[in-house]
Amino acid sequence: MADRTTPDTPADQAATTSGAATPADRAATASGAATTASPQQLAWNRRMAAAKKNWHVFLEDRTGVAGAIMLVVVILVAAFAPLIADRSLLDVTQNLDQPRYAPPSVEHPLGTDNHGRELWARLVWGARVSLIVGLAATAMSMIIGTIMGMAAGHFSGIVGGVIMRIIDFFLVLPSLLLAIVLSSVLERGVLTIVIAIGVTSWAGTARIVRAQTLSAESRLYIERARVLGAGHWHIIRTHLLPAVMPLVLANTTLTVGSAIIAESTLAFLGLGDTTEQSWGTMLKNAMDVSAATSGYWWYILTPGVAIVAVVLAFTLVGRAIETIANPTLRSR
């Protein structure tokens, strides 16, 4: 029988003579590297492969990509607002010579308001407050909802029952009414609006997370971890949180639009920060001067279209992420 360590081909013999690695040596080296990889490295490789796959799936969704492009544009405009529009354009005392209620034209692209201020400048600066409130309130809502939802689904008995009753209480309570009360009691400001929206809009997320947690609790690896002596914190952090995060992420992008609408509603009702520009404040100012009945349509249309466009963009991105988290939706 021939010795298997002897190179079989002239090329292998030449490579062996010159000291170069043969194909068999390279295969053995790769196999050895794979077997010596740490579990953390293998887990990281799997996550990166899944992330690349999900990214390609997202790029195939044209509406999701269109929404993402719109959001990137709005975020860039909000971030570079001081460079795009000087803050002096918002100062009433420095615009006394500007025409009031000027319709859209070359000189005034989006028209002017009742104080002669350019609406495009107010729109640019208003994007900052609307996005900050929307994102911050959504983050607060997602954190509270995720914690309460996982706790309600994981714990049983009295603890789980009490948490579920708290969630039910916030579900039946009108969130807008509670936000109005909080905004009226607390000191007016952007932080107050964030707290008012975040505290009143987490119950729906908690309900969804609880359902996903109950589904994950019935899986065998959770039972195995419990039998091996894993505690509540280990199960929640290691097993339940990764199981619910895709659903939470998809729900987050959909909730941002609702938070922006809630901020605009509170500002429209006069409960926002009057010292800051926001799209809801622009609508409130337009209502105060009866722009709808006076023919100043651009005063209402400008912030209204901006709100609709941003909410639509977040919705499109949220739907695309939802199809990644739930592949069964791709065929619908």
> Would you say the pTM of this structure is higher than 0.85?
no
What residues are paired with 112 via a beta bridge? Answer: 118
Contact 200, 178 (CB under 8 A): yes
Q: What pLDDT, on a 0 to 100 scale, did the predictor assign at position 70?
A: 92
Q: What pLDDT, on a 0 to 100 scale, did the predictor assign at position 1?
A: 44
- Measured distance CA(14)–CA(146) in Å, rounded: 63
Using alpha carbons, list the distances in angstroms from residue 181 to 221, 264, 265.
45, 16, 13
Contact 197, 145 (CB under 8 A): no
Per-residue pLDDT of the chain (332 residues; tens, 9 = 90+): 444 444 454 444 444 444 445 554 554 444 444 456 677 788 778 878 877 887 888 888 888 899 999 999 999 999 998 899 888 888 887 877 888 888 888 888 888 888 888 899 999 998 988 888 888 988 999 999 999 998 888 888 888 889 999 998 888 888 778 888 888 888 878 888 888 888 888 888 898 898 888 888 888 888 888 888 878 888 888 888 888 887 888 788 778 888 888 888 888 887 877 778 888 888 888 888 888 888 888 888 988 899 899 989 988 888 888 787 766 666 55
Q: Which amino acid is at 226?
A: R
**Residue 80, CB-side half-sphere exposure with 13 Å CA sphere:** 7
Burial (Cβ within 10 Å: 0-12, 13-18, ≥19) of residue 108: middle
Contact 256, 315 (CB under 8 A): no
Q: What pLDDT, on a 0 to 100 scale, did the predictor assign at position 330?
A: 60
Residue in the block written with tokens 């065998």: 220
Q: What pLDDT, on a 0 to 100 scale, did the predictor assign at position 327?
A: 65
- Measured distance CA(282)–CA(259) in Å, rounded: 17
Q: What pLDDT, on a 0 to 100 scale, did the predictor assign at position 19?
A: 47
